């Protein structure tokens, strides 16, 4: 049993006990409950007011009813309390008839207390409020304050702790004023309960120490002192400081033994035993708990107290992996809670039982049934509901139903954040982070874990911090960033409390695994052995330690040692019925057999795992088992059988993916399973070599198409369906509100980080806070997008298209066009060359070799102005390029990826579906493999370098040598080049746009915006300094990210004067009635998002662009940032905006740097502005892959439009003609000036 699971159970059980002891201890009962005894004990001759004989007789009936009620209460069951309440209510009618206000108050009070005990808080409040009215009528402030405490106690266990705080504070004021020290101490304890629930641990401890001082020094009240010591110990136990907690419990136990209070001794010994279990001392813990249970029975303790001890025994057995015995004890505890009528603790124990079914036996159906039972008991228990939603989500996630899991987690999160309950909020956020990790959204996962970490720091909760740091480490391990995971383990070690062995073991496990991955086997062995030595008292931890040792031996090639350990663990899991763990260990063993080349045994083992995964309904595990079986079958020489298994795996992951409604999570999940598709492609090509007649090559192409740009195809389908039109208007309004908040916060943050303000600690802290808030808002925005989809009637009826077959792909082509589709693999890569009536396939070198050559060419041709998208989380490889000629680099890459197919190319139009680093290579600049250089290779080496690099001031700068040194014919000379994200993408686009009428007007240009108030176009700008605004004064604006600005090496945006000439020249090519020219201040956000732009066939944006590879939705174009008076206005058109725009344009041109780049996501390609523009309606796009000289861009664009309009060429033909024209001019011949511009979309 891990420590956090134990503490969770202890917290659930002890929370109610803490509440009871804190507010209904002897001293509290003396002040709150004595009035209920008074009526039964008071002599008949002395009621609270003089009575006649007949009234005395009636009064005695009331006394008898109260005595009977008290006896019924002693049963400790719900039924007993309900019967007691009935008696009290009969007595109440008597005292009301006799108009005995004091006695009426007392009975109202005990009825309220009884209702509260059986969790009927609604009726408890009704009777306490009636008592409140009587106390005011009696003008007795002390009674009034006591009722305030009672009401505060009720609200403490609801979702309105602030009300509890208010009532306790009112009581505190009265008790202080009247020097009622007993009651004051009780109130301090009540306040401490509320503060602890609100996450204010220090304040809670301070209040309890005040109460302790009163009991110990002033009142000399041993009972109150012991109860308070217990409460302090409880808080320390929740914070994970178990040794300190036990110390306080022992102090309290000493006093209770002195007082001979068996019941409270039992409670204390029980909790000491629970913590001994947490510390791994199983035998001591079990002996303590059995002693406590015996004392409870001897003392005739209430059923809930006995149930609590049974629960602790159950947890103890769970820690030994004996889940059947654990469930038995928890079931016994549940029966007692049922009898006691304590629905709160009954529902809590149901959650524990469900967790045991899930974690140990893998019986998800039983677990879900248990959780549904819990929900029926939690009608008025928001905390409980949140926990149950959380637990249901865990099960759905385990079964691979990620969307259902996310929905349930969000239900839990809404409740826990509204109560508020920071611990539960942190727990649920942690589960969401784990789900994001499972779906491959690692950045979001780490960001979410950081939120969790902040909550635990505020509480403070060291154990929570340690757990979260370990989980962050695992996310880095999953990404194979092992070195980055180690600092988090070290942070966790620094937080360890003395003797916190369970956390230490978990940290050691993580560090051992990391060093295995890093092949530091000696260190790994040290950590694993240390963990094993510490975990001997905890069966589960011991097995984890042994499993890590098994992994270590496997990594070292000591397979027999590895298997011997795994077999022992497997035997234990089978003995105790831990099926989920059995499946995991079988999977580990299969890897060992595979490395022994014992493929048959690996397959047999995997089939055992597969059977378990199916029984457990673990779809993700089932898919992975099929995948591993396929790999082993292939190695065994059974490719056909392997194909059957990989197809089964892909079918499962396709179903999992389709159930995820959030498009970002769907995309990130798809990225995590790309290896399945790559394996299938490689396998099909092996089968094709064996038998070319069976069409395996076509299947391979179809699999390649199925594996790419699925998210884009689905987005284009959604755009056609216009799903947002049928969505909930309130959700759309909320989306706009969040977008505005993001815009404003980004504006402020950008100003800080890109000015001297960042040197000021206050501004720096503000910027960091804003970044956190922006990340949170982006998360909310993504969740809203999912809700908008789900509430749209059009989305409900939406059917996504299936990827294309070979004949359907060929139908998209014409006789002059070839499709070149690439798939880069770890061992080998493939190129399919497809014409309308043929399919040829070529084997290429492995991905690493092609990527290296592609990145080298990209760096040379872009002059280091951009960072390759595929290496966003690494050092920019462009910094390390050697002096080399562009033509040599282009020829090298062409030899790798084009030369094998050169006989097929002729002068055809080439439609490129790229993969890996090829996605940001301008194919137009590659060497034509069918042309010959004019000199020998030796002469080429002796020629001047095309790019010369030097280092100055720590900055590496590359610049072109003389253009005439280039000695190669680029591909564009004989070929039009078109880029596509996938063949399916052009098919769905054609289907969508087939019936769309052309826009009535020709051209809209937005160019030469005004970026700052010092621009000479601003009124009186010559006499103005740059306007500065305080952080708090700017509300609704957006900004390019700091990262984007860093990439561009800008501390702001400089005017692009060439764009004005560019725009005016282009505009003069069309009749004035057919176009609109938006320059200067008119080139603004309002105009760019206006519906007026849907009247134009071509949209041209001539301005700065920026890319954010971490959050693509924050990428965008920079429009005017100030108005004519120099005041800030909204000026950034971002990707998120584009998804809400209607641009039904034949062509959109982004004459801006890097607008063709984006975040590279496996299986999806480059996710950036192009995706948003296609969603908005663009049929064709011309974008840039890197920063191009302002004047060069202007020259190119003017030529492009002249070719299109004066020479009547199609956009793709015009692009090629403009590139050729510049290639033929010495001044512009270097590909840096013309190759950046690429064409995407429809070429017809």
- Give 833's strand partners: 820, 840
3-class secondary structure, 258? helix
Contacts of 1126 (CB under 8 A, 6+ apart): 1013, 1018, 1019, 1021, 1024, 1027
The SS3 call for residue 347 is helix
Tokens of 304: 């809930």
186's CB contacts (< 8 A; 6+ apart) are 23, 25, 27, 28, 31, 149, 211
Length of the chain in terms of residues written: 1244
Q: Check if the beta carbon of residue 330 is closer than 8 Å to that of residue 310.
A: yes
660 with 403: CB under 8 angstroms?
yes
| Sole residue written with tokens 């100003």 | 751
Distances (CA, A) of 597 to 266, 602, 683, 707: 59, 9, 19, 30
Q: What is the pLDDT of residue 384?
A: 83
The answer to whether 364 and 617 are in contact (CB under 8 A) is yes
SS3 359: helix
If 0-12 CB within 10 Å is exposed, 13-18 middle and 19+ buried, where does residue 253 land? buried
Position 754 scores a pLDDT of 62
Which residues of the chain, if any, have pLDDT below 50?
Answer: 1-45, 798, 871-873, 934-964, 1022-1051, 1164-1165
Determine contact, residues 1130/1037, Cβ cutoff 8 Å: yes
Q: Which two tokens stand for residue 821?
A: 């589709």
Task: Please report which residue ranges of 876-1002 form alpha helices under DSSP H.
Answer: 886-897, 902-905, 937-942, 983-993
E strand or H helix that includes residue 1100: strand 1096-1102
pLDDT value, residue 750:
62
Distance CA 471, CA 453 (A): 10
d(CA 1185, CA 921): 8
User: Coil, strand or helix: which one is 943?
Assistant: coil
> How far out from the chain centre does Cα 750 lie?
25
Instruction: Determine how many CB atoms are found less than 10 A away from the CB of residue 814.
Output: 12
How many other C-beta atoms can be found within 10 angstroms of the C-beta atom of residue 1142? Answer: 13
Question: For the chain, what percentages of helix, strand and coil (3-state, to nearest 5) are there?
Answer: 70, 5, 25
Calpha distance 812→804 (Å, rounded): 10
Cis peptide before 460 (omega within 30 of 0): yes
Distance CA 323, CA 369 (A): 18
φ/ψ of residue 1006, rounded to 5: -115, 120
pLDDT at residue 667, rounded to an integer: 58
- Cα 1006 from Cα 264, distance rounded (Å): 79
DSSP-derived secondary structure letter, 496 = P
Distance (Å) of CA 781 to CA 533, 558, 733: 48, 50, 12
Contact 904, 840 (CB under 8 A): yes
**How many C-beta atoms lie closer than 10 Å to residue 411's C-beta?**
18
For the entire predicted model, the pTM comes to 0.60
What sign has the CA pseudo-torsion 137, 142, 147, 152?
Answer: positive
Q: Residue 846: CB partners within 8 Å, gap ≥ 6?
A: 824, 825, 826, 827, 828, 829
**Cβ contact 1195:1222 at 8 Å:** yes
Q: Do residues 502 and 541 lie in contact, with contact meaning Cβ atoms separated by under 8 Å?
A: yes
pLDDT of residue 461: 82
Nearest CA to 1039 among 750, 741, 740?
750
Contact 711/663 with Cβ under 8 angstroms? Answer: yes
Task: Count Cβ neighbours within 10 Å for each residue of 364-385 and write b for 16 or more, e otherwise.
Answer: bebbbebbebbbebbebbbbbb
Strand-pairing partners, residue 772, are none
Q: Report angle CA 517, 523, 527 to the nearest 5 degrees.
A: 95
Query: Is the backbone of residue 968 left (phi > 0), alpha (psi -120 to 50) or beta?
Result: beta
């Amino acid at each position: 049993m891990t420590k956090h699971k134990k503490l969770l159970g202890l917290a659930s059980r002890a929370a109610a006990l803490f509440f009871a002891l804190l507010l209904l201890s002897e001293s509290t009962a003396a002040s709150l409950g004595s009035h209920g005894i008074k009526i039964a004990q008071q002599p008949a001759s002395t009621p609270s007011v003089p009575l006649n004989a007949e009234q005395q007789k009636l009064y005695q009936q009331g006394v008898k009813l109260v005595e009977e009620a008290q006896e019924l209460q002693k049963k400790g069951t719900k039924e007993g309390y309900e019967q007691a309440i009935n008696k009290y209510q009969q007595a109440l009618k008597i005292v009301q008839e006799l108009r005995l206000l004091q006695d009426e108050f007392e009975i109202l009070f005990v009825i309220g207390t009884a209702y509260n005990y059986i969790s009927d808080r609604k009726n408890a409040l009704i009777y306490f409020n009636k008592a409140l009215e009587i106390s005011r009528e009696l003008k007795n402030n002390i009674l009034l304050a006591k009722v305030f405490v009672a009401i505060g106690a009720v609200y403490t266990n609801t979702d309105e702790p602030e009300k509890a705080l208010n009532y306790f504070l009112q009581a505190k004021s009265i008790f202080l004023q009247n020097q009622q020290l007993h009651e004051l101490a009780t109130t301090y304890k009540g306040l401490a309960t509320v503060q602890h629930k609100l996450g204010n641990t220090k304040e809670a401890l301070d209040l309890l120490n005040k109460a302790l001082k009163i009991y110990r020094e002033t009142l000399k009240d041993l009972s109150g002192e012991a109860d308070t010591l217990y409460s302090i110990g409880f808080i320390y136990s929740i914070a994970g400081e178990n040794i300190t907690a036990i110390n306080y419990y022992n102090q309290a136990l000493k006093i209770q033994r002195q007082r001979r209070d068996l019941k409270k001794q039992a409670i204390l010994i029980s909790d000491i035993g629970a913590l001994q279990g947490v510390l791994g001392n199983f035998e001591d813990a079990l002996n303590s708990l059995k002693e406590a249970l015996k004392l409870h029975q001897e003392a005739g303790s209430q059923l809930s107290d006995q149930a609590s001890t049974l629960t602790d025994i159950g947890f103890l057995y769970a820690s030994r992996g004996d889940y059947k015995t654990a469930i038995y004890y928890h079931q016994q505890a549940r029966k007692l809670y049922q009898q006691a009528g304590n629905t709160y603790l009954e529902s809590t124990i149901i959650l524990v039982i469900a967790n045991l079914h899930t974690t140990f036996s893998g019986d998800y159906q039983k677990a879900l049934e248990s959780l549904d039972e819990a929900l029926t008991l939690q009608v008025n228990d928001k905390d409980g509901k949140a926990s149950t939603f959380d637990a249901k989500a865990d099960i759905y996630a385990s079964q691979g139903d990620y969307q259902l899991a996310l929905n349930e987690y969000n239900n839990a999160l809404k409740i826990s954040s509204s109560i508020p309950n920071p611990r539960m909020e942190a727990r649920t956020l942690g589960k969401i982070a784990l789900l994001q990790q499972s779906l491959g959204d690692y950045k979001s996962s780490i960001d979410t874990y950081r939120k969790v970490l902040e909550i635990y720091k505020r509480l403070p909760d060291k154990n929570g911090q340690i757990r979260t740091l370990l989980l962050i480490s695992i996310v880095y391990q999953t990404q194979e960033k092992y070195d980055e995971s180690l600092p988090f383990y070290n942070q966790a070690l620094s937080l360890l409390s003395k003797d916190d062995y369970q956390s230490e073991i978990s940290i050691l496990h993580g560090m051992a695994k990391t060093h295995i991955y890093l092949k530091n086997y000696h260190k790994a062995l040290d950590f694993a052995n240390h963990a094993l030595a510490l975990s001997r008292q905890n069966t589960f931890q011991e097995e984890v330690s042994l499993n890590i040792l098994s992994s270590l031996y496997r990594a070292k090639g000591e397979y027999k040692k590895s298997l011997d350990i795994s077999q022992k663990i497997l035997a234990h899991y089978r003995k105790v019925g831990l099926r989920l763990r059995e499946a995991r260990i079988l999977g580990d063993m299969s890897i060992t057999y595979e490395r022994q080349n014992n493929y048959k045994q690996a397959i047999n083992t995997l089939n055992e795992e597969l059977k378990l995964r199916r029984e457990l309904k673990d779809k993700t595990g089932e898919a992975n088992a099929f995948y591993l079986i396929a790999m082993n079958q292939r190695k065994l020489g059974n490719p056909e059988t392997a194909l059957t298994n990989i197809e089964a795996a892909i079918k499962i992951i396709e179903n999992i993916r389709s159930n995820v409604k959030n498009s970002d999570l769907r995309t990130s999940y798809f990225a995590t399973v790309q290896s399945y598709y790559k394996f299938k492609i490689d396998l099909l090509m092996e089968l094709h070599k064996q038998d070319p007649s069976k069409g395996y090559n076509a299947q391979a192409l179809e699999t390649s198409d199925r594996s790419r740009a699925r998210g884009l195809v689905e987005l284009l389908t959604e755009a056609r369906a216009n799903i947002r039109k049928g969505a909930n208007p309130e959700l759309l309004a909320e989306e706009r509100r969040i977008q505005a908040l993001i815009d404003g916060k980004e504006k402020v943050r950008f100003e800080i980080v890109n000015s001297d303000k960042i040197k000021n600690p206050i501004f720096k802290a503000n910027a960091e806070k804003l970044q956190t808030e922006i990340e949170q808002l982006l998360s909310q925005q993504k969740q809203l997008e999912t809700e908008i989809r789900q509430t749209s009637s059009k989305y409900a009826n939406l059917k996504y298209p299936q990827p294309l077959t070979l004949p359907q792909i060929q139908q998209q082509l014409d006789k002059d066009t070839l499709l070149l589709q690439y798939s880069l693999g770890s061992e080998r890569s493939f190129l399919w060359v497809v014409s309308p009536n043929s399919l040829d396939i070529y084997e290429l070198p492995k991905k690493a070799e092609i990527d290296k050559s592609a990145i080298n060419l990209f760096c040379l041709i872009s002059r280091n102005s951009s960072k390759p998208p595929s290496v966003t989380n690494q050092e920019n490889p462009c910094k390390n390029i050697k002096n080399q000629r562009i033509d040599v680099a282009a020829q090298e890459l062409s030899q790798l990826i084009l030369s094998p197919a050169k006989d097929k190319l002729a002068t055809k139009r080439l439609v490129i579906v790229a993969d890996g680093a090829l996605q940001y290579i301008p194919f137009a600049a590659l060497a034509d493999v069918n042309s010959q250089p004019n000199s020998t290779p030796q002469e080429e080496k002796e020629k001047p370098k095309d790019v010369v690099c030097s280092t100055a001031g720590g900055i590496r700068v590359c610049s072109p040598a003389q253009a005439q040194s280039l000695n190669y014919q680029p591909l564009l000379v004989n070929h039009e080049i078109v880029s596509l994200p996938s063949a399916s993408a052009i098919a769905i686009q054609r289907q969508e746009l087939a019936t769309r009428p052309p826009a009535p007007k020709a051209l809209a240009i937005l160019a030469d915006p005004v970026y700052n108030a010092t621009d000479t176009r601003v009124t009186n700008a010559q006499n103005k300094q740059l306007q500065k605004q305080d952080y708090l004064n700017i509300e609704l604006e957006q900004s390019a990210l700091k990262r984007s600005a860093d990439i561009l090496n800008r501390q702001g945006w400089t005017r692009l004067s060439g764009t004005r000439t560019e725009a005016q020249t282009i505009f003069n090519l069309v009749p004035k009635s057919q176009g609109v020219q938006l320059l200067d201040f008119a080139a603004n956000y309002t105009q760019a998002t206006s519906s007026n732009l849907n009247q134009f066939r071509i949209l041209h944006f001539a301005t700065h662009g920026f890319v954010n590879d971490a959050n693509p939705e924050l990428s965008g174009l920079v429009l005017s940032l100030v108005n004519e008076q120099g005041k800030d206005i909204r000026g950034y058109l971002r990707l998120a905006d584009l998804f809400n725009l209607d641009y039904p344009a034949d062509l959109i041109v982004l004459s801006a740097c890097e607008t063709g780049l984006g975040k590279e996501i496996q299986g999806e390609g480059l996710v950036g502005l192009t995706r948003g523009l296609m969603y908005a309606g663009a049929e064709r796009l011309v974008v840039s892959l890197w920063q191009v000289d302002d004047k060069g861009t202007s020259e190119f664009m003017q030529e492009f439009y002249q070719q299109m309009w004066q020479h009547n060429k199609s956009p793709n033909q015009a692009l090629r003609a403009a590139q050729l024209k510049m290639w033929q001019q010495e001044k512009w011949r270097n590909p840096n000036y013309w190759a950046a511009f690429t064409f995407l979309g429809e070429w017809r």
